[in-house]
Structures are given as structure tokens and as C-alpha cells.
Amino acid sequence: MSLSIKILGCGSALPTTLRNATAQIIKHNERPYLVDCAESTQVQMRKYSIKFAAINHIFISHLHGDHFYGIFGLLSSFSLMGRTGEIYLHCPEKLQQMLESQYSPLDVNELGFKLIFVPLIPNEVNLTYENKNLEVYSVPLKHRIPTWGFIFKEKIKERNIIKEVIPKYNLSIAEIVKIKNGCELMLENGTIIPNSELTTDPPHPKSYAFITDTVKLNSVAEAVKGVDVLYHEATYDSSLTERAKETFHTTTIQAAEIAKTAGVGKLIIGHFSSRYHSTEELEKQAQTVFPNTVCAEDGMEINI
């Protein structure tokens, strides 16, 4: 199984010639999920050859324009391209009201496809989507308005049975299923064969966390504990801690402290203020606390 992240935009508030505002494509087993949708997101999707028709689930963190203004144009483009398949919007409740207001003069059904709204739950980590291989959790953050992050986690697979043991012990299908689920095998003479001699470990389940606009939260460190890759906003450098506090954002050092506390594999910092033309110093600051840190760039792809 594969899990990858494509950064479509890593700037905050004001888009610049260097950075679009926030949007990412999370791709699991070649199935893409869109996380946030700033203006020009669909232009970025075309630039980086993202297949529009393959997107069925969109996750919106909060209702500040630099995270969702692109959704109106994107849905209209889906309609113009003749889409008929439904779209699931995992989003704050108010977005449903906004979209229904936007499209009601023409009748929302004229989009040609159904919008299914999945409201994000406040105050607790909550499972917002799952299929047979993947779970996506929403994580409450602390910003000026209700805001959530998202964690993408592969489900733990069954153990891999060693092929040679099947004929050796003449295993039935029912026995194979039990063994793959971790059971031991009892022979007719009462001998117990431990599961470790019958199976090998399944692949490590991959995980990714997207944490955007927020102050530094210990609850986030707990929620993202041990993920392979953490994207955490770092709007400001460490000299602007008070400014970050006033605006409910995070600094480079604070993001790195979250990554260190959570024991993540890799940290990507992003959501940079437009005041930074270069992110070199931001990266260096974070690396003093968490060495395996890189700065996001538009077009960057991370394979887990």
C-alpha cells in the first residue's frame, strides 16, 4: 500500500508568487483526497496533473478564506466537466449553509451531482471517514474560529501466514483465518504451535497528520503521537512568539516541539506568512529542536 502527500499550497492568508494558500492532495493506494481548498487550488491541481474525477472526499479545516474559497469554483468546474458521482464534504457545519446559499438560485441539483455533508465534531478526536484500508480522524484545534486538523491512518493488516505451514499442518480455511488474526494452532495431540512460528508481521501501517491554524496544543501532540509524517503550521519564526499567540498561530520552534513530544518520524512545516520570501531560516530554527524537519514548498511530494 502507498501513502503520499502533494503540497498544492503552503502559504497563509495572502497568496504570493512563490506560494499558493493552503491545499494538499493526500493519495492512498492511488485514491486522492483533497485537504483544504484555497483559491486557485484547481489551477494547482491542473499544474500538477491531479485527476479531478478521482476526488470523492474533500476535507475543509476551517472557514477562513485562505483554506476554503476555492471550493466554490472547484465544485462549479466538476459540474462543467459533467460529473455525476457524489462528493463528500467533511467540513464545519456553516459551509453547508454557504454552499446552499451559493447554489440555491439555480437549484443545487443543477450541479449534476450530490453533495453529502459530513460535519466535523467539536471538542474530541473523531473518525470522519473510513474504508477497508484507511481511517481519517478530525482533530479539534484552537484558532480564532472552530478549526480541525486531520489524521490519515492505514488500518492494521492481518498477519501474513507462512505459506509452508499450510500443507505442513493441513490447515483449513477457518484455521488460516484465525491464525492470520493472531491465534495459535492446537494440534490433535494437544501441542500448541505459537502464532510467531506460523506468521510474519504485516507491513507497518503508514500515517500522516495535517495540523493547520492553531496555537501550540499538548492535545495535538497526543493525537498525532508516532505518525510517520506530521505537517504542522509554522506561520511565524521564533522571534514572533507574541504575534503568533495574538493571532492563534504557531512558530517554528513550537511546531518542532510538538513533533519532538509526539515522536513523529518527519516534520513538514508550512502555512508561512507572506513576509518570508525565503524559508531557509525557518527550517534551521525548527531543526534545532527537531532535526528531521523540512519546509513545505508548492509542488513538493512526500512518499511515506
The pLDDT score that the predictor gives to residue 32 is 96
Give the model's pLDDT for residue 104: 63
DSSP string, the chain: --EEEEEEE-B-SS--SS--BSEEEEEETTEEEEEEE-TTHHHHHHHTT--GGG--EEE---SSHHHHTHHHHHHHHHHHTT--S-EEEEE-HHHHHHHHHHHGGG-GGGGSS-EEEEEPPTTS-EEEEE-SSEEEEEEE--SSS--EEEEEEEPPPPPEEPTTHHHHTT--HHHHHHHHTT--EE-TTS-EE-GGGTEEPPPPPPEEEEE-S----HHHHHHTTT-SEEEEE--B-GGGHHHHHHHT--BHHHHHHHHHHHT-SEEEEE-B-TT-S--HHHHHHHHTT-SSEEE--TT-EEE-
Interval 253-277: pLDDT, tens: 999 999 999 999 999 999 999 999 9
Catalytic option among 36, 66, 228, 298: 66
C-alpha radius of gyration, the chain, whole number: 22
Q: Name which of 156, 161, 172 is nearest 196 in CA terms.
A: 161
Note if 201 is an active site residue.
no
**73-105 b/e (C-beta count within 10 Å ≥ 16 → b):** ebbeebbeeebeeebbbbbbeebeeebeeebee
Give the dihedral of Cα atoms 46, 51, 56, 60; nearest 10 deg: -30
pLDDT at residue 232, rounded to an integer: 98
Residue 90 backbone dihedrals phi, psi, to 5 degrees: -90, 105
Specify the pLDDT at position 74.
95
Q: Please state, in angstroms and rounded to a whole number, the distance separating the CA atoms of residues 5 and 203.
A: 19
d(CA 205, CA 214): 27
Look up the pTM and report it. Answer: 0.88
The verdict on domain 3-157+203-303 having CATH code 1.25.40.10 is no
For every one of its 304 residues, what pLDDT tens digit does the chain have, with 9 covering 90 and above? Answer: 789 999 999 999 888 888 999 999 999 999 999 999 999 999 999 999 999 999 999 999 999 999 999 999 999 999 999 999 999 999 999 999 898 887 765 555 678 888 999 999 999 999 999 999 999 999 999 999 999 999 999 998 878 788 887 888 788 888 877 878 888 878 878 788 888 877 887 788 999 999 999 999 999 999 999 999 999 999 999 999 999 999 999 999 999 999 999 999 999 999 999 999 999 999 999 999 999 999 999 999 999 9
What are the structural domain ranges in the chain? 3-157+203-303, 160-200
pLDDT attached to residue 108: 54
